[in-house]
Structure 1
Amino acid sequence: MYSPAAFRIDDLAELHAQIERTPLAILVTQAEQGLQASHLPLLLDPDAGENGTLLGHFARANPQWRDLAAGAEALVIFPGASAYVSPGYYPSKARDHKAVPTWNYQTVHVWGHAAVFDEPARLRELVGRLSAHHESGQAQPWSLDEAPADYLDAMLRAIVGFELPIARIAGKRKLSQNQPADNRAGVRAALATRATPNEQEVARLMDSLR
């Protein structure tokens, strides 16, 4: 990932925080059948390995898990908030018109090799942890115990789990740091008044850098 020094995130705790804020990641592999990508909810175990370990599962019918089983390296993308930045947001445009459109955004990329597994007990534990994580905000959280045992067993047979130790991790936070202070303030103010949550989140992230 191209990341100039002004935009780079080096702190592991910040990188982990972005991973945990991303409910759905994109896992990419390159193997015999070419590039493959899947959108997957993942769990981060921050204390497993030097950079943490990711856990998730594929549908067994999804051939991409076989790439991991064969030893292919995975790239996992955790996209954060993003927003279009119009030249009109810059006060400097009114002075010299030297401005072009761009995007502000935050993302984390992870690389590593994964081990796959399909033992029922491990899959049940993984699905239980994923469910508990994503159900935590519900008024009445669902749990595995609510599903009939035979139905759950059939669902577990239909998936393949994986564990991916993070070999390399990189983060980027592009929030107009390369602009003068008045332009950064102009972008922040403009995005804060926009209607979409993503634009408002980028404004909040920019505010946190002040």
Structure 2
Amino acid sequence: MYLPSHFIESRLEVLHDLIERNPLGILFTNSKGEMDANHIPFLLDTKQGTLGVLHCHVARANPVWQNAANGDEVLVVFRAADAYITPTWYPTKHETQRQVPTWNYMVAHAYGQIRIRDDERYVRAIVARLTRIHEATRETPWKMTHAPRDYIDALVKAIVGIEIEVTRLTGKSKLGQDDGAPDMRGAGLGLKAQGDILIGDAMIARADIDVQS
């Protein structure tokens, strides 16, 4: 990933938070001479390893778990938000006309070593934890025990676990840092007005930091 210094996000707690809030990652593998990409919801355990460990499961019919060998390096990409930026939001555009459109975004790239966990106990535990996390905010959370046991048992047998120990974690927050605080704030307000709240707030917060520094 091209990473100019002013776009680097290196704070571990920020990157962990990005992953936990946006758990659908893209798992990139390069096994047996073939590139592959799979969209998978991940569970991040921040207490395991130095940078955390990612856990997930895939369908047994998915060849990724057979093509990848234990110890292979893989990449998982997580995206928090992105948006098109029109130059009409920049105050400097109206002063100089020297602005062009761009696209801003916030992402995290987790590199690590894959380990295939064809283990029913492991898979059942990961599914249970993922369910608890994503059902927690619901008025009546669904639980695995709500479904017939034989039905759940059959589904668990049809999936395989994957564990990835994160060995390198990089983040990029492209929020207009190269445009200056007034333009960051102007674009952030424009984004919020059209409903892109997350990245709009991030740009405004970054503009405030630059003003104070």
- Aligned mates of 1:128, 1:22 — CA distance in 2: 18
1:83-94 equivalences in 2 (<5 Å) = 83-94=83-94
Decide whether the 8 Å contact of 1:123 with 1:161 is kept in 2: yes
- Aligned mates of 1:48, 1:102 — CA distance in 2: 38
Equivalent position SS for 1:167: strand
Using the aligned pairs only, state the percent identity: 40
1:111-190 equivalences in 2 (<5 Å) = 111-190=111-190
1:5-84 equivalences in 2 (<5 Å) = 5-32=5-32, 34-69=34-69, 71-84=71-84
List alignment gaps of at least 5 residues for structure 1.
none
Decide whether the 8 Å contact of 1:68 with 1:113 is kept in 2: no
Aligned to 2:201: 204
Cα offset, 1:69, TM superposition: 3.0
Decide whether the 8 Å contact of 1:68 with 1:74 is kept in 2: no
Q: Deviations over 1:41-87 (max 9, x none)?
A: 11011010110000001111011112333543211001011111011
Q: Deviations over 1:11-52 (max 9, x none)?
A: 111110101010311111112252111111110110101100
Aligned to 1:98: 98
- Aligned mates of 1:52, 1:35 — CA distance in 2: 25
Q: TM-score, normalized by length of structure 2?
A: 0.92
Decide whether the 8 Å contact of 2:27 with 2:37 is kept in 1: yes
- Aligned mates of 1:77, 1:88 — CA distance in 2: 31
Cα offset, 1:184, TM superposition: 1.6
- Aligned mates of 1:127, 1:68 — CA distance in 2: 21
List alignment gaps of at least 5 residues for structure 2.
209-213
- Aligned mates of 1:9, 1:185 — CA distance in 2: 19
- Aligned mates of 2:129, 2:94 — CA distance in 1: 53
Equivalent position SS for 2:68: helix
- Aligned mates of 1:185, 1:154 — CA distance in 2: 53
Equivalent position SS for 1:166: strand
- Aligned mates of 1:181, 1:54 — CA distance in 2: 36
